[in-house]
Every structure is written in C-alpha cells, then in structure tokens.
Chain A
C-alpha cells in the first residue's frame, strides 16, 4: 500500500533518482574529521530555532502591552514552555558559536578558494542575517534588557552621513521605540529574515552538492 503510493509519486516527481544521485551516493573525501561537522551543526541549530520559534508563535503577542506578559506566560505557565524558550535561547547562542567555528575551519583549510567563492559569500551573508535575527529577537520579550539594548543598537546608524537620522527612524518606525518598533522587529524576525535565510541556505547547500566538500589537507 505505502510502497504503491511511493511508486505513484515517483512516477510524477522522479525524486528517487535525484535523491539517489545527489544524497545517498554523493561522494565526500575519506579523511573528514569532526571539524567538518560544524556546518551541519549550524543547520541543526537553525532547525531547532525554527521548531521552537513556531511553537512560541502560537502564544507570543507582539504588542507593547502584551509582549512581556505573553513571554511570561510561555516561561512560567505553559507546560514545557520554559524548555521551548530555553532551547530557542541556547540554540540562538549555539548557532553563532557554530557559524564562527565553521568559518574558522573553512579559512584554515582554504576551502573558500576557487571554485567555492560563492559558497563563502552566501555563508557570510547568512552570518549577517543570523546577527540580524539576534538583534531583532532580543527586543521581542519587551523587558528592560530588550528595550535598552535595542535603544543603543538602533541609534548606531545615526552617524551615517546625511541619511543617518532617516535610517534610525525607519528602523524604529517613528520617532521613538514603541508599538511600531516592536511590530516591525517581529515581522523581520519571523518573516523577512527566515525567507532570506531560506534562499541563501538553499544556494549554500546546492553549491556544496555541486562542487563537493574541499578535500582535507
């Protein structure tokens, strides 16, 4: 029964062949050590962040009068809520650590060189997006730490010649940190940045399929 459905789907999508060639029989160098796991671990962190993030999205409310209490509810009242939020928190820290280790490994092995220049560029962009996730996510609980760290961060572009003040009010959604700041950080955190991540992640993975992992030295 199940096999039949698979066969019918295979007829329409021919995914078995692609999976066979691109995943199962894909060759990697023989002498890979544990440092080659950092990329995969970064991806694991990303998956944990997506899963726990979606779980919290069922309860979190991005408004200045309810953000704090809804995070409080997740943290103290919701069964397993503290674990979900904790995994999100620690994975958010872990993803930065693993990105840094992954990048260091790539630099030491010179793996960013031809033909893998664009793997590196998409990776640097992913790192920048990850920092964007960190910055926007930090505001969402709307506690003192969140408010004041955002206050400092959001004013940094003030020094840009000519348009500095406009960048600041664009980020804040007005002349002060308030309801619109919270809702735009929320939109960035759960919709815009994940979409950008998905695009660059797909590119990153497809390219490494194509060129293979750089041979260890």
Chain B
C-alpha cells in the first residue's frame, strides 16, 4: 500500500498544490456563484401550492420530477408484456453495472482518448437519458 497515492503516479515530479487555501479558494468561488444562483431562483420564482391531494380526482395526470422522467417515459414506451424491464430489471441491472464499473473496466489507462469504447458508451447512455428526459417533458 502506497502511503500517498496522490504523489505522481508515473514517477515524474509533477507540481502539486496545497488543498488549503489554494484549491479551496477555487471551490469557494464556484460555491458562491452557485449559492447566488440558488437564492436568486428561490427569490424570483416563488414556490406555489397545488391543490390538496384528492384520490377521487379524475384525469389528474401525474408528472414525475425531471430526474425520474427518463424512467417514466421509458415505462410509457414499453409494451405491457415487458413492463418488468423498465420498472425493475432495468434499474437493478443498470445500478449494479454502474456500481461494478471499476471492476469491469479494469485497464489502468485513464486518458479518455485511449478509451474509445468507454467514452462511446458514456456518450450513448448520456444522450439517451437526456433524450428520454426531454421527450418525457415535452411530448408527454
């Protein structure tokens, strides 16, 4: 076990900086910008209230939050006979694969230019999730 793995990995003497305050300052700049954005959204787009929950409402069409939209829209696209795919098998297998990625993609090469398959897969998955989300929001 190496003591400090952040030390140059190839043995070359790469320059390092101290986390505090050098990197944390960069982090603080990013933080204040994002914080200002969040507060601005909260102030200028006031929260509203819908109607109280009513189980007897007809025709209320539930819209999930945008981050569940891709899954929701996939569920809508899939025929009922394979419904178990988007509701259970998909998330379970997808989550497991995502979690096990470091053990599937074990080659030590880290440069994105030398990992075409990983990069293409990442792009395809990202584009399809974004596509399903956008489709769910605008077409549904």
Seen from chain A, the residues whose Cβ lies within 8 Å of a Cβ on chain B are 23-30, 32, 34, 36-37, 40-41, 44-45, 48, 64, 68, 71-72, 75-76, 82-83, 85-87, 89-91, 93-94, 96, 104, 107-117, 120-121, 124-125, 128, 131, 134-135, 138, 141-149, 151-153, 156-160, 176-177, 210-215, 217
Interface range on chain B (Cβ under 8 Å from partner):
35 or more
Q: A189: shortest Cβ distance to chain B, in Å?
A: 14
Q: A65: shortest Cβ distance to chain B, in Å?
A: 10
Q: A33: shortest Cβ distance to chain B, in Å?
A: 9
B54 near A113 with CB under 8 A, answer: no
In this assembly, does B31 line the interface, its C-beta being within 8 Å of a C-beta of chain A?
yes
Complex formed: what's the CA distance from A117 to B38 in Å?
Answer: 32
Partner of B122, one of A44, A104, A144: A104
Residues in B with CB closer than 8 Å to A27 are 4, 6-7, 16-19
Residues in A with CB closer than 8 Å to B14 are 29-30, 215
Complex formed: what's the CA distance from A135 to B50 in Å?
Answer: 17
Main secondary structure of the interface of A (DSSP, over half): helix
14 further contact pairs, Cβ within 8 A, besides A144-B60, A215-B14, A217-B111: A27-B17, A30-B16, A87-B38, A93-B67, A109-B112, A112-B101, A113-B105, A138-B65, A143-B52, A145-B63, A159-B83, A159-B84, A160-B84, A211-B5
Seen from chain B, the residues whose Cβ lies within 8 Å of a Cβ on chain A are 4-9, 14-20, 22-23, 26-27, 30-31, 34-35, 38-39, 41-43, 45-55, 57, 60-68, 72, 83-84, 87-88, 95, 98-99, 101-103, 105-112, 115, 118-119, 122, 126
Please give me the residue from chain B that is nearest to A52 by CB atom: B42
Complex formed: what's the CA distance from A75 to B111 in Å?
Answer: 49
Q: A217: shortest Cβ distance to chain B, in Å?
A: 5
